Amino acid sequence: MNASHHASGTSGLPPIDHAETILDLVGRTPLVRLSRVLRDVGPADRLPLVLAKLEMLNPGGSVKDRIGLPMIEAAERAGLLRPGGTIVEPTSGNTGHGLAIAAALRGYRCVFVMADKQSAEKQALLRAYGAEVVLCPSNVEPGSPESYYSVARRLARDIPGAWQPDQYSNPANPEAHERTTGPEIWEQTRGRVTHLVASAGTVGTLTGTARYLRSRSPDLVVVGADPEGSVLSGDTARPYLTEGVGEDFYPAAYAPELVDRWVRVSDRDAFLAARRLTREEGILAGESCGTALVATIRLVRELAVAPDGATKVVVVILPDTGRNYLSKLYSDEWMRSNGLLATTGERLRVADLLRDRHHQGARPDVVLVRTTERVGDAIGRFQEHGISQMPVSEAPEGDDAGAIVGSVEETGLLERAYRDPAIVERTIGEVMGRPLPTIEEERSVDDAYALLAGGAAAILVMREGRLGGIVTRLDILEHLAHPDRG
């Protein structure tokens, strides 16, 4: 422990347990067991022990507190940063907090350059420490003069006494994890850790921690978690929403030989997993925690079927707190407008619509008309059942789905009978239209709605190869308008 005991001028009195500064409280984060989020992954007695390292409990709320002071001290030793100097860094926020805490205590000015996709909370927090924040557009090439990397480089050149830590190339970044994060995990697990999972941005956490743990246990399995659209896991670079992880270039600490496998995680899976950590485990988690959790769940699923899976000890690093993302990850409105949260129609299955209607007991599941029946009979049946579409079957009886050859619509038939009254004596087979599209009852209501929005008047619902019902656009709208009626 760095925390010291206050003893000056108080000889004989018991020492007071305290830290000298907040910097002494960085690191030594606890491990907590994850269980609720793994409940459905495999039988409890087959699951490995899964422990989350809670980096959000650092004083600045993230794993990046670990690198702030070490990078500053290395620069002081090298004469790159002198009293009164300015720290300029392109950062997604968390490194800024780590640097800002150290800078506050050492009296340096800070200018942070960040992409405008970063949450408003992160910007406000940096300003709270007294830092200046410069925003740059998110979706430009790293080489573009507008990118936050380029702007930071320019400011570091032009501001007198400025120094840029450059966490992407600074060896003090991975070294901090090799010196602290790795040994902590080794000691906390009494050397029993078998698997390490970490999401990666600068890759400092993953590389530094893995390097130490591998030096103690060559068989350690290292899993990197990376957003879709990041080059670290070999994807082609494209924009994504998850903050703090993934890159469109290879940082200096990128050490593929230390990573056994990469797991690529979509924004949606990462965000929903982060919410699960908060709501099921009570760990207020940031987005990249979700990225790491998705990779962990995939790993645990494999271990749960291995004969010795239950003997394994998995440590997953959770980088930062959900408090940084209240206006994004934890805003239902923001999540929905970014397509990350299921709409009501996506959660509901077509079967739910039919079940509802069944409770109302109004009519049989499917009312059919046969090719050999008269148009007049069909018109009568529409009115008897209060319906507006019917599938047409060529089978003489029963409701064999394979015999559906067409459909008829009430208004269409009535219009034709109005223009030509003789038509009521014709057979349905002569006047019918095309068969209605079909959908399996397990599909989502959104899928059904998409078919109807594409022009179908109604859809036939299939249940285990048989006709289970028929739904119209009105059925869906009514259901959504009165969700509690079923």
Which residues carry out catalysis? 64
Collapsed DSSP state (helix, strand, coil) of residue 191: coil
Long-range (24+ apart) CB contacts under 8 A made by 326-334 are 326/121, 327/119, 327/120, 327/121, 328/119, 328/287, 329/271, 329/274, 329/275, 329/286, 329/287, 329/290, 330/275, 330/278
Taking the complex as a whole, the smallest distance from the CB of residue 286 to ligand PMP amounts, in Å, to: 5
Is residue 135 helix, strand or coil?
Answer: strand
Q: Which helix (H) or strand (E) holds 71?
A: helix 65-77
Residues in the chain, how many?
A: 486
**Cα–Cα distance, 148 to 113 (Å, whole number):** 6
| Structural tokens at position 41 | 């992954």
Position with the least CB separation from ligand PMP: 244
Strands lying side by side in the sheet with 389-393: 369-370, 389-393, 404-409
Cβ proximity of 101 and 130 under 8 Å: no
Cβ-based neighbours of 154, under 8 Å, separated by 6 or more: 145
The residue type at 258: L
- Smallest distance from the beta carbon of 243 to ligand PMP, in angstroms? 6
Separation between Cα atoms, residue 86 and residue 163, nearest integer Å: 6
Contact residues toward ligand PMP (CB under 6 A) are: 63-64, 92, 94, 199-206, 243-245, 286, 288, 319-320
From the CB of 194, what's the least distance to ligand PMP, in Å?
22
Rounded distance, CA 72 to CA 56, Å?
Answer: 21
**Cβ–Cβ < 8 Å for 132, 110:** yes
Smallest CA-to-CA distance from 440 within 412, 469, 400 is with 469
- Cβ distance to ligand PMP smaller for residue 70 or 406: 70
Give CA–CA dist 458/268, Å, rounded: 31
Distance CA 328, CA 359 (A): 39
Q: Which is nearer to ligand PMP, 64 or 357 (CB)?
A: 64
Strand 109-115 relative to strand 86-90, pairing = parallel
